[in-house]
A and B are shown apart, each in its own frame.
Chain A
Amino acid sequence: MTLAFEKRKTVSRTAIVVVPVVSFVASLVLTGALLMIFGANPLATYAAMFKGAFGSGRALTETLVKAIPLSLTGLGVALAFRLKFWNIGAEGQLTLAGVAATGVALFWSPWLPAPLLLPVMVLVGCAAGAAWAGVPALLKTRLNVDETLVTLMLNYVAILFSEFLYYGPWRDPKGFGFPGTRMFPKEAWFPRIAGRAHVGLYLALVAAAVLWFVLNRTRWGFELKVIGNSPKAARYQGISVERNILLAVLLSGAICGLAGVGEVAGISRRLQQGLSLGYGFTAIIVAWMAQLNPLAIPFVAVLMGGLLVGGDQVQMVMGLPSSIGLLMQGMILFPMLAGSLFTEYRIKRVGGQAVRESETGAV
């Protein structure tokens, strides 16, 4: 008996729920095995991580602090991924937006009426994120240049540019040599909800709902879906593929940019080292685990934020490296990807005359 695979027309519905859950559990088991190799008790480690991430009010708000940028970048990345535009430049889009919002907060605040300052920061930040994503989008749609590499390279450029600013011309002269700009005026602070969690949380939830609506209930969303499935079919239907990809990627960059505005206006209240802690990369995991579904993204973001915060706690409590959170995140996608065989393919047994289809999809 041998197995044969046939590409499904639509992904299996059972598998869409089962695969992420099984993947998460599998990643716990795999990481647990690694932890044992390195002489740590996996159960105690997980308990400490869980407690560190969700065990107290403060832990919870810190998890939300990380979930906000992860949600937003996850949404941005998911939108681009739906069109098979591999935007791995969320990190750079976030950073450049943070830089732009900082510019507004520091240099326009004397000229702008106070209530307008935050809206302008958000707009300028999103525009910067969109512009940074627009470069690879234009190169892709006009010249067919590989977007994976361009988006990634622009991450380095954006981060180096922000370093140049806060080490150089924008550095706080009264900062005792501290690499960072001066503190924003109070009008440029995002209001906080609890702990350090700020209104970016509401923005992320609204963005998720709006993106879901646009993708599933509007004509444009339908066009994007057709393009994502088959650009060729889209062209036959008279849909402008290039224009739509460009627009969607600009929007993707703008959403990632919003994350950057939230980080500078809501958390650090200045531009300084460590603006992004790799959120733009974790966003890829968030988006893929949520199966590119905007409504699932905030939940996955909370889970991933929990891994990061829990990892920090494990370092303090158990003396294990904080990068254990990163390690677990890296591990999650493996079972998830292995599961794509069950979500995207129909498995047939081929043996003699008996051909039976496996209907459940998930095994």
Chain B
Amino acid sequence: MGLITSLIAITLRAGTSLVYATIGETYAERAGILNLGLEGIMLMGAVSSFATAYYTGSLGLAIVVALGVGGLMALIHAFLSITMKANQVVSGLSITLFGTGFASFLGQRLGPESNGRYLIGLTGPRFAPIDVGALGKVPILGAILGQDLFTYGIYLLIPLAWFYLYRTKNGLWLRAIGENPRTADAMGVAVDRAKYGYTVFGGMLTALGGAHLALAYTPGWSENITGGRGWIVIALVIFSMWNPGRAITGALIFGGINAVQFRLQASGTNVPAAFLNMLPYLATIVVLVAITWWEALSKRVGSPASLGQPYVREDK
């Protein structure tokens, strides 16, 4: 495999979990719900899917469990921020704190007796890259096709998520809810129900991103398996200007940084590993500053106008 082809392969693999979560959070934010609980949801998706796969041997069931767990976690956030009108920033943070604690608890409790009840250090079934035969040898195309099913999933998800948001009636309503819930309400949209739905959907996709980590990317469970990906995704949503079609760009940048990190580390560079490991976090800051600056210069506001605001219905 050529250098470019292998870089693309690593980038796609590293970016897959980010794409799922970015599209999930884009939908929630389009409905006006900021969910800072992604990191916790990803962790819960990872631990629950890995435990399921380990015990049942069924990868399909593992995905179903991750979807369910992610949906439930997001449902808590939806209940707190929509029905109870709590501060969305703090509610999201508490989802992350709870998810981190609970995932760690499960990881220390769900394992077999022989491993001290720990899930850490075990290997279970995993999604392997699909063998596409001779096609895998074709430059670039081989990198795109020689991926696991999760990555194939994003090839479908990105265009579908874009189409739904910009070309369907429900997508139009979704955008309306985020921009101006009162108008959407007047148009006859069930605002709260839609907010619930998209927040839960976002949580499910986010947990799927976590499952990809535990079942394919770095198979197994470890307590910091996400390494802040849930937070990077919040920045990626801003970077993609709340457009699911662009979710791939940000993910590719960060997947690419990961790939470069690997390359440099493998080539025995003089730069200490700690500094290489800082790259994704520093890049997030740089990207965030650049996009905010660009928004200010071009006088464009990308974020949905009602993002983070509780919607209080007026008396009728």
Contact = CB atoms under 8 A, between A and B. Distances in A.
A152 to B, nearest CB: 5
Contacts of A5: 85, 312
A157 B105 contact: no
Interface residues of A, number: 53
A279 to B, nearest CB: 12
A284 B85 contact: no
A145 B288 contact: yes
B97 A329 contact: yes
Interface in B239-255: none
Given A148-B234, A334-B94, A161 B274 contact: yes
A7 B86 contact: no
A144 interface: yes
A330 B282 contact: no
B274 A149 contact: no
A170 interface: no
Given A326-B104, A337-B80, A337-B84, A167 B292 contact: no
Given A7-B312, A148-B89, A340-B85, A326 B105 contact: yes
Contacts of B84: 337-341
A323 B85 CA distance: 29
Q: Which of A88, A146, A152 has the most CB of B within 10 A?
A: A152
A285 B85 CA distance: 18
A345 interface: yes
A98 to B, nearest CB: 16
Interface string B68-110: 0000000010011001111101110110011111101100110
Contact of A341 (B85, B101, B272, B313): B85
Given A143-B296, A145-B288, A337-B87, A285 B94 contact: yes
B231 A153 contact: yes
Contact of A152 (B40, B86, B94, B228): B228
Given A145-B289, A164-B272, 19 more contacts: A139-B289, A143-B292, A149-B234, A149-B285, A150-B288, A153-B281, A160-B275, A164-B274, A282-B97, A288-B90, A323-B108, A324-B105, A326-B97, A328-B101, A329-B101, A334-B98, A337-B80, A340-B86, A350-B315
Interface of B: 36, 40, 76, 79-80, 83-87, 89-91, 93-94, 97-102, 104-105, 108-109, 117, 228, 231, 234-235, 238, 272, 274-275, 277-278, 281-282, 284-285, 288-289, 292-293, 296, 312-313, 315
